[in-house]
Amino acid sequence: MNENNGNINVGSYSNLEEGSSIIRDATNNLKTNLENGDVYLKNIQRPRIFEGPVADHVSGVWDVINKATTNNINEFENSANTLDNITANYQATDKKSSNDIGGVI
């Protein structure tokens, strides 16, 4: 972060870029964990391994977890894209302002 006594300066885009990167890392981790969970659940749901009402309940709970996590992944991706758009807009506005006032930046 480009700071001067705690103030964010023109051209301080790294915080937004870092936030977007952190969100994408978290999203990738969630996707990997969700995929691993699917594999584990399929392995225990093979015939004669884990059957009956408890198995059905676990499968239903996993479906709820899976759906909620997928929704969170989508929201995280939207948030990262929003930060990218904000960063691009700030940079474009700063460049235009700089050009308009004679290249101060």
Taking only the tens of pLDDT, the chain with its 105 residues reads 444 555 555 557 788 889 999 999 999 999 999 999 999 988 888 888 888 888 889 989 999 999 999 999 999 999 999 999 998 888 888 777 777 776 555
Assigned token pair, 92: 């474009």
Tell me if the pTM is above 0.85: no
Q: 12: alpha, beta or left, given left = phi > 0 and alpha = psi -120 to 50? A: beta
Q: Which of 76, 64, 80 is nearest to 30 (CA)?
A: 76
DSSP H stretches of helix in 4-101: 14-44, 53-100
- Alpha-carbon distance of 88 to 75, in angstroms, equals 20
